[in-house]
């Protein structure tokens, strides 16, 4: 069975990310987030759309539980089971790598995927992420035509929830399309839809990690100086 490769994408795909830019777009409203109208961009945070509760102070929390990344059934509607399996592989890798990144950031005393930390205790947060769009596109069109034809598509949406109260303290959404590029990536990589989506998910993962760093460094929005 094909193994999960998001960590490899972070290495092998790093040059590709700088050489071949994905197209970013406004996230489609899937209905999972509470309010899409309040989403906006935060400077320095590479996520397309973010909302943070103005009084949210991440420094007041000791624990972050990262829930399993869910794959919405409608996300892979265009290519069926093939995309479903790829989405599940990348979802598992995304969660694993996000745990590593946020532990390294040193924002929380505990960052874990262990459900023990999902209990309704004080000073604890839960990060929920869902894949709400996952489309492998048309590999042949990417390789032969290019210029965005047959591009892959992925959209992730997320929530930061306070465990004790169940309040949503932050929401985000990011949608990316990757055109590949035979001249820079080579035909094989350009046709590999999972590889291209993995590159884009790596970019979204970076954005989520930097959102938490931003929250730690800048503090609550209602206390920031403008």
Per-residue pLDDT at 51: 97
pLDDT for res 149: 87
CATH of domain 6-217: 3.30.160
Q: Which of 48-62, 151-165, 167-181, 210-224 has the lowest mean pLDDT?
A: 210-224
Task: Quote the mean pLDDT of the chain.
Answer: 89
What pLDDT was estimated at residue 1? 44
Q: Does the pLDDT at position 153 exceed 60?
A: yes
Predicted local confidence at residue 224, as pLDDT: 77
Domain ranges of the chain: 6-217
Q: Is residue 18 pLDDT above 60, yes or no?
A: no
Backbone φ and ψ for 50, nearest 5 degrees, come out as -140, 145
Over 90: is that where the pLDDT of 70 sits?
A: yes
Residue 119: how many other CB atoms lie within 10 Å: 12
Question: Per residue in 57-68, pLDDT tens?
Answer: 999 999 999 999
Q: Which two tokens stand for residue 94?
A: 């995304």
Name the residue with higher pLDDT: 50 or 14.
50
Predicted pLDDT of residue 26: 84
Q: At what angle do helices 193-218 and 80-105 cross, to 10 degrees?
A: 30
Instruction: Provide the pLDDT confidence category of residue 103 given band limits of 50, 70 and 90.
Output: very high
pLDDT of 12 above 60: no
pLDDT score of 10 more than 50: no
The whole-number pLDDT of residue 13 equals: 43
Q: For the CA atoms of the chain, what is the radius of gyration? A: 18
pLDDT at 52 over 50: yes
Separation between Cα atoms, residue 194 and residue 189, nearest integer Å: 9
CA dist., res. 89 & res. 86, Å (int): 5
Closest residue by Cα to residue 208 from 117, 93, 97:
97
Select the more confidently predicted residue: 131 or 18.
Answer: 131
Segments of 117-167 assigned E as strands: 124-135, 152-162
Please state the pTM of the whole predicted model.
0.88
User: What pLDDT, on the 0 to 100 scale, is given for residue 105?
Assistant: 97
pLDDT at 15 over 70: no
Give 22-46 pLDDT, tens digit per residue.
566 788 999 999 999 999 999 999 9
C-beta of residue 2 within 8 angstroms of C-beta of residue 89: yes
**Over residues 107-128, mean pLDDT:** 98
């Amino acid at each position: 069975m094909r193994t999960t490769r998001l960590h490899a994408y972070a290495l092998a795909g790093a040059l590709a990310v700088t050489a071949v830019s994905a197209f970013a777009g406004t996230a489609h409203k899937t209905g999972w987030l509470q309010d899409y109208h309040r989403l906006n961009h935060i400077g320095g945070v590479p996520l397309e759309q973010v909302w943070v509760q103005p009084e949210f102070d991440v420094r007041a929390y000791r624990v972050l539980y990262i829930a399993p990344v869910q794959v919405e059934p409608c996300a892979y509607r265009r290519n069926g089971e093939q995309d479903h399996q790829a989405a599940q592989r990348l979802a598992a890798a995304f969660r694993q790598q996000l745990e590593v990144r946020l532990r390294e950031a040193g924002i929380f005393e505990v960052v874990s995927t262990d459900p023990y930390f999902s209990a309704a205790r004080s000073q604890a947060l839960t990060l929920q992420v869902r894949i709400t769009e996952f489309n492998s596109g048309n590999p042949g069109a990417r390789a032969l035509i290019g210029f965005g034809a047959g591009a892959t598509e992925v959209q992730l949406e997320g929530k930061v929830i306070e465990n004790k109260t169940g309040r949503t303290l932050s929401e985000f959404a990011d949608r990316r399309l990757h055109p590949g590029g035979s001249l820079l990536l080579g035909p094989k990589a350009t046709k590999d839809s999972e590889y291209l989506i993995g590159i884009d998910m790596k970019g979204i993962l970076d954005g989520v990690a930097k959102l938490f760093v931003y929250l730690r460094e800048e503090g609550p929005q209602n206390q920031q100086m403008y």
